[in-house]
């Protein structure tokens, strides 16, 4: 397929450095504190809570990993003097990793950015010595620092980003009804929006849920990565309703293909509610569709080392109808270098 004429820049931002370790997270699901008769089930972005003491010195949790999926685990003490310890084992029962403190003196443990074979992983969390108290445990997609978890309705200043409405002759973008709505009305138009926050990432994991409204003849969606302060240089990771994906770099009007449009069996072209993600580490990029690894690509030029993120929508050259996308539950995680395994 061909990539059509580019739309105009829709929002400019300025940037700053990455901030530090954050473990604040909305509590969607919590385990019951106390005796645990069977392993608990962990799901990404669903915190679990438990209590460790002399009567319950350890608890175990299990979770499923798709091929190539990258995840992190964070446990921290909420009450008491509990010093938690974490041990992760793989599907064959082999030791994979142990938790390490993100900073000296903190009663928390982190396993950062692990990947391996698919299957069921088991995490054991136990108390150190005679310490006791309540802990919270979180399975994160990508890296171990939860920077943003934007549901486009809570406007939590810690976890949300600021999205200012955009309107031009070809496209519209605005937060509406708990989602970021993007509409592209013109043929062959590339539209994207960047947050107005002063934020920047180099190594980063980004994921989001998408709803494609109606039955457009074509849909293209994905992420802007490492956009510079003037918005004229960035990476664009894109998926399409043709069942293919690409990674491109834009610089002052020039597009460079890092990964040509490639069909992948992991991409369901009929899925109108996909969950997409991208893991960026240095010049390496991994694309995910509904939790499955789509592909990995390297940019030898390492064209843009750091910058902000954004969301995009694009129509094809021959598309007569408009495209309407809703982005929701945008998650951004970054590495804690002190805990990297």
Taking alpha carbons only, the member of 232, 248, 252 closest to residue 240 is 248
Domain around 217 = 147-339
Q: Measured between alpha carbons, how far is 146 from 339 in angstroms, rounded to an integer?
A: 14
Please tell me whether residues 191 and 120 are part of one structural domain: no
Q: What is the pLDDT, as a whole number, of residue 156? A: 79
Q: Measured between alpha carbons, how far is 30 from 21 in angstroms, rounded to an integer?
A: 22
Strand, coil or helix: 226: strand
Q: What is the pLDDT, as a whole number, of residue 155? A: 75
Q: Measured between alpha carbons, how far is 79 from 134 in angstroms, rounded to an integer?
A: 5
Please tell me whether residues 193 and 94 are part of one structural domain: no
Domain holding 331: CATH number? 2.60.120.560
Please tell me whether residues 186 and 132 are part of one structural domain: no
Structure tokens at 264: 């992948």
Q: What is the pLDDT, as a whole number, of residue 37? A: 63
Please tell me whether residues 237 and 334 are part of one structural domain: yes
Taking alpha carbons only, the member of 28, 17, 129, 25 closest to residue 74 is 25
Please tell me whether residues 120 and 152 are part of one structural domain: no
Edge-to-edge strand list for the sheet holding 108-114: 48-52, 133-141, 71-80, 108-114
Start-to-end Cα distance in the chain: 40
Strand, coil or helix: 22: coil
Q: Where do we find the tokens 């310490």? A: 131
Q: What is the DSSP letter of 100?
A: B
Please tell me whether residues 228 and 324 are part of one structural domain: yes
- pTM for the structure as a whole: 0.88
Residues 335, 143 contacting (CB under 8 angstroms)? yes
Residues 56, 34 contacting (CB under 8 angstroms)? yes
In a domain, 9, yes or no: no
Please tell me whether residues 177 and 125 are part of one structural domain: no
Q: What is the pLDDT, as a whole number, of residue 36? A: 67
Q: Measured between alpha carbons, how far is 266 from 281 in angstroms, rounded to an integer?
A: 21
Q: Running along the chain, 341 residues long, what does each successive block of 10 average in pLDDT?
A: 32 24 36 62 95 96 94 96 96 94 84 91 96 96 96 88 94 96 96 95 98 97 94 95 97 95 97 98 97 96 95 96 98 79 43
Last residue of a domain, one of 118, 146, 174: 146
Residues 102, 21 contacting (CB under 8 angstroms)? yes
Residues 288, 226 contacting (CB under 8 angstroms)? no
Q: What is the pLDDT, as a whole number, of residue 65? A: 93
Residues 177, 283 contacting (CB under 8 angstroms)? no
Q: What is the pLDDT, as a whole number, of residue 307? A: 97
Q: What is the DSSP letter of 213?
A: -
Taking alpha carbons only, the member of 125, 25, 139, 135 closest to residue 77 is 135
Q: Measured between alpha carbons, how far is 220 from 215 in angstroms, rounded to an integer?
A: 13
CA distance readout (Å), 278 to 178, 223, 235, 258: 23, 8, 11, 15
Please tell me whether residues 73 and 163 are part of one structural domain: no
Please tell me whether residues 236 and 93 are part of one structural domain: no
In a domain, 68, yes or no: yes
**Number of domain units in the chain:** 2
């Amino acid at each position: 397929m061909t990539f059509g004429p580019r739309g105009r820049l829709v929002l400019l931002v300025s940037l700053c450095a990455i901030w530090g370790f954050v473990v604040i997270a909305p509590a969607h699901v919590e385990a019951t504190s106390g005796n645990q008769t069977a392993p608990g089930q962990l799901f990404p972005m669903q915190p679990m809570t438990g209590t460790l003491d002399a009567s319950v010195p350890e608890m175990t949790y299990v979770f499923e990993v798709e091929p190539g999926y990258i995840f992190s685990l964070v446990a921290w003490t909420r009450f008491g003097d509990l010093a938690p310890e974490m041990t992760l084992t793989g599907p064959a029962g082999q030791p994979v990793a142990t938790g390490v403190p993100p900073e000296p003196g903190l009663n928390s443990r982190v396993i950062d950015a692990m990947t391996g074979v698919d299957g069921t992983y088991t995490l054991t969390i136990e108390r150190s010595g005679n310490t006791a108290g309540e802990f919270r445990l979180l399975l994160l997609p990508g890296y171990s620092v939860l920077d943003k978890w934007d549901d486009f309705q809570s406007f939590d200043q810690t976890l949300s980003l600021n999205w200012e409405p955009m309107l031009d002759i070809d496209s519209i973008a605005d937060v509406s009804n708990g989602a970021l709505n993007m509409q592209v009305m013109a043929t062959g138009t590339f539209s994207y929006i960047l947050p107005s926050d002063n934020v920047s990432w180099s190594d980063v994991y980004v994921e989001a849920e998408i709803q494609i409204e109606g039955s457009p003849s074509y849909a293209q969606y994905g992420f802007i990565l490492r956009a510079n302060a003037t918005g004229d240089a960035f990476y664009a990771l894109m998926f399409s309703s043709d069942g293919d994906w690409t990674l491109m770099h834009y610089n002052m009007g020039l597009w460079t293909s890092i990964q040509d449009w490639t069909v992948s069996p992991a991409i369901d072209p009929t899925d109108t509610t996909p969950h997409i993600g991208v893991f960026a580490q240095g010049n390496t990029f991994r694309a995910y569709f509904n939790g499955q690894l789509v592909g990995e690509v390297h940019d030898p030029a390492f064209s843009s080392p750091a910058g902000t993120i954004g969301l995009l929508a694009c129509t094809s050259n021959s598309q007569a109808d408009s495209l309407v996308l809703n982005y929701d539950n945008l998650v951004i995680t970054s590495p804690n270098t002190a805990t990297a395994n």
